[in-house]
Amino acid sequence: MDSTRRLYSANERTGWSSPPVGSRKRTNYWIWLSLLLVACTSPPDIQQTDWTIYRGDEQSRAWSSLAQIDRENVHHLEVAWSYRSGTETNSGSQSNPIRIGNRLFVVTPGVMVASLDPENGEEQWLFDPNEGDEPDSGVVRGVSHWSDGEEERIFFTPGFRLYALNPETGTPVPEFGNGGWIDLREGMDRDPEEISVRASSPGMVVGDRIILGSTVGTGSPGDIRAYDVRTGEMVWRFRLLPQPGEPGWETWPDGENVTGAGGPNNWGGMSLDRERGVLYFGTATVNPDFYTPGTRGRGEHLFGNSILALDAETGERLWHYQTIRHDLWDYDLPAPPVLFTTERDGERVDALAAVTKQGFTYVLNRETGEPLFPIEERPFPRSPIPGEITWPTQPIPTLPEPFTRQYLSEADLTERTPEAHAYALQRFREVHYEGLYTPPSTTETLRYPSTQGGANWGGASLDPRTNWLYVNANEYGNTIRLQPLDDDELAGEPLGERSGRALYRTYCASCHHPDSEFPSLEGVAERRRAGQIQTLLARGQGFMPAFPQLGEEETGRLIQYVREEISQTGAPEHLAVQGSRTDDGSGIPQTDSDSLNDPLTARYRVEYAYNHFLDEEGYFATKPPWGSLNAINLTTGKIEWKVPLGEYEALRKQGIPPTGTKNYGGSIVTAGGLIFIAGTSDRKIRAFHSETGEMLWEHELPAPGGALPATYEVEGVQYLVITATGGRVEEAAVEYVTSDHVIAFRLPPKGNEL
């Protein structure tokens, strides 16, 4: 009854509870009322009226039972308030705000935490962990909250630090760790100064512990760790790179000691079954990506590319399911599994659904890890690289239906113009392509979906009343090429003696290629001071890892080369070396001419890895959609609808229907029958009809909102809020825009709806 009064009060205040008799709103009033009755009689886990945790709830459903904003009135949404932090960065902010009482917590560009009034957006405090230094250029997708009823804390992970903050003041809690923070690089069996570890997604709070995954650089461990929320002491640690005698060790060749390797890691966040006390999460592959030198070129590589269930109390592994064995495509599991309950053979089954970059959805029994839909082992092409022994088969779900294309043919190439088609056809015939899981080779190789394709960090949202899953997808390809190291390049050259040119090849060039998804370095000398570049190298930025192994002299030579050479032309050469770390931590294989011909020690460079597969005007070379929003019925495994997500203004002016654009962030779904999502290149936030996919509302933002929206209620009014700061990778077809905005929407007060 209390929840009924609260929702009625909300509608009374905004004027949407009593549409005129005989009007269309009156007809749909009964639909609204039926939804309200469903909400009031639904199980407790469907009642989700606030947004107190990353992704809305511990099940990662991105779901809200608020229904004041619905299909009939959503077109009346207006800006309620806008907050500007005063800091813009190239990486922007991917923060999903959370609301705790009279505070809304959001991570700004530059990786600072702001506490805002959730009703008017006024800043209550701003915590800057940079202490006067250059703003952190990384990304943190939100914060975590803990309370025992008397004490409470906000947990925040800038760079390699985990802070505990006082929610009322924004000051570090002195009893936690080292005066309010702990170093996430410590306790990893490595020299903290020689590894790169940071947490881009918020930790999961379970009882008096916060449990974290991490984003790691090459050669850094990605272990899952639990810390005491009061003291910061580590309580338990689960090694994702198994050691001798641990489960998974046997999946590495010849019992190889892999302690010097980096990853696997969980960077996308976690889900929690609180009743069972079980954590669920997905992992990335062991690094480096695309090529595994030495004897690591064999084996399945657990626990890379796996869905895992851990006991939240002890860190004990309960089960795992590996979605790719021996990943060479950077197909990380990018987001937490979504938890839901379904029926099988007349019985209720607790399940999870994990979406992937390949466009698959793995639906597993939450208790056992067994698939709920058939999964087939299918053969795929073998690697032509000596010593790189790809696993002969991969597990492919037969259902749910994939939400991206899995195979390209000439019939799938763009027909935007005859010239675009001819160019795309020529490019398609030039590249090496054998379908899904085509291994990288010394010939330019097409990868479809791309490494940023399918689902990404936004993951999926779920309506628990229908078990429909909503996921946005990127549907384009990119290309990669490997090249053997020649004997004159780096063989035997110590780290401290390498030139700036050699260091650039090693650490920068494969990503900062002119046609890649990552920003060009042309003009970097004008945009950034040497000190800023040095900070970037030390801290990392977004997808860019930190390089702590570079000393002051090496960093100086690299910066000088980038500023004097690369800054003038963008990237005149793109010869990046990928290899296992050696004892000196350099990341460069110490080899000689004979060993280059040894299949177990041969080394290749990744010449480029992130080049978009484009037509001659910079649009994607395949037929649309290039970005999509999909509704998947988890009961039947069928796609209920699929619509393009986003459009390009230049193509719209030519009369071309919406094609979809590159998109990041993710969706939320509400009991008002709506899906809210931003993240498109055209800088808009939209609302879609959850049953049909019809777009019902859109609003232009100052920059792309590459984050999950959040929704909450204050004094009877429902708000929708989005972090709209841009900062994702550049795209040839659109202007690159950044901002510092957080924007909230609401329905207008009664009488002002026009």
The torsion angles phi and psi of 555, rounded to 5 degrees, stand at: -60, -40
Encoding tokens for residue 547? 């390089």
Higher pLDDT, 237 or 598: 237
Strand pairing report for 393-397 and 445-447 = unpaired
State the helix-helix crossing angle for 552-561 and 530-539, rounded to 10 degrees: 120
Residue 616 CA to its chain's centroid (Å):
29
Looking at the predicted structure, is the pLDDT value of residue 355 above 60? Answer: yes
8 A C-beta contact, residue 208 and residue 229: yes
Confidence of residue 540 (pLDDT cuts 50, 70, 90): low
pLDDT at residue number 605? 76
**Token output for 282:** 């997905």
Contact 215, 544 (CB under 8 A): no
Taking the C-alpha atoms of residue 36 and residue 47, their distance in angstroms, rounded to an integer, is 11
Task: Return d(Cα 386, Cα 595) in angstroms, integer.
Answer: 12
Name the β-bridge partners of 209.
206, 228
- CA dist 656 to 39, 631, 686, Å? 41, 24, 20
pLDDT at residue 626 in the model: 97
Nearest to 437, CA basis, from 297, 517, 326, 577: 326
Q: Facing residues of 478 across strands? A: 447, 612
Which residues make Cβ contacts (< 8 Å) with residue 566, sequence separation at least 6?
504, 508, 512, 521, 522, 524, 572
Predicted confidence band of residue 259 (pLDDT cuts 50, 70, 90): low
Mean pLDDT of 217-242: 93
Rounded to a whole number of angstroms, the distance between the first and last alpha carbons of the chain is 32
Please determine, for residue 688, whether its predicted confidence score (pLDDT) is greater than 70. yes
In 431-521, alpha helices (H): 500-507
Confidence of residue 698 (pLDDT cuts 50, 70, 90): very high
Contact at 8 Å (CB) between 330 and 449? Answer: no
pLDDT in tens, 437-462: 999 999 999 999 999 889 999 999 99
Strand partners, 238: 224
Residue 707 one-letter amino acid: A
Residue 658: partners with Cβ closer than 8 Å, 6 or more residues away: 624, 644, 646, 647, 652
pLDDT given at position 244: 82
CA–CA distance, 532 with 548 (Å, rounded to integer): 15
| Rg of the chain over all Cα atoms, to the nearest angstrom | 25
Q: Which whole number is the average pLDDT over 74-82?
A: 98
Burial classification of residue 27, based on how many CB atoms lie within 10 Å of its CB (0-12 exposed, 13-18 middle, 19 or more buried): exposed
pTM of the full structure? 0.85
Q: What is the 3-state secondary structure (H, E, C) of 666-678?
A: CEEEECCCEEEEC
Q: pLDDT at position 455, please?
A: 97
- The SS3 assignment for 448 reads coil
Residues 224 and 211: their CA atoms lie apart, in Å, by 7
- pLDDT computed for residue 291 by the predictor: 78
| CA angle centred on 277, ends 271 and 283, rounded to 5° | 35
Between 347 and 519, name the one with better pLDDT. Answer: 347
Q: Which residue has the higher pLDDT, 258 or 61?
A: 61
Over the stretch 506-529, which tens digit does the pLDDT of each residue have? 667 656 655 555 566 766 656 566
- Tell me the pairing of strands 63-64 and 667-670: parallel
pLDDT band at 737 (very low <50, low <70, confident <90, very high): confident
Mean pLDDT over 235-241 rounds to 94
pLDDT tens digits, residue range 561-593? 777 666 655 554 444 433 332 222 222 222 332
Residue 494, classified by CB atoms within 10 Å of its CB into exposed (0-12), middle (13-18) or buried (19+), is exposed
Residue type present at position 329 = W
Give tens-digit pLDDT for 638-662.
999 999 999 999 999 999 999 999 9
**What CA–CA distance (Å, rounded) separates 616 from 422?**
9
Residue 53, pLDDT > 90, answer yes
Average pLDDT on 457-476 reads: 97
More confident residue, 188 or 252: 188
Among 722, 726, 618, 638, smallest CA distance to 680 is for 726
- Is residue 71 within 8 Å of 672, Cβ to Cβ? yes
Q: Is the pLDDT of residue 177 over 60?
A: yes
Helical (H) or strand (E) element with 34: helix 24-41
Diameter over CA atoms, the chain = 87
Neighbours of 84 (CB within 10 A): 16
Side-chain-side CA neighbours of residue 532 (13 Å):
15
Given a cut of 60, is residue 612 above it in pLDDT? yes
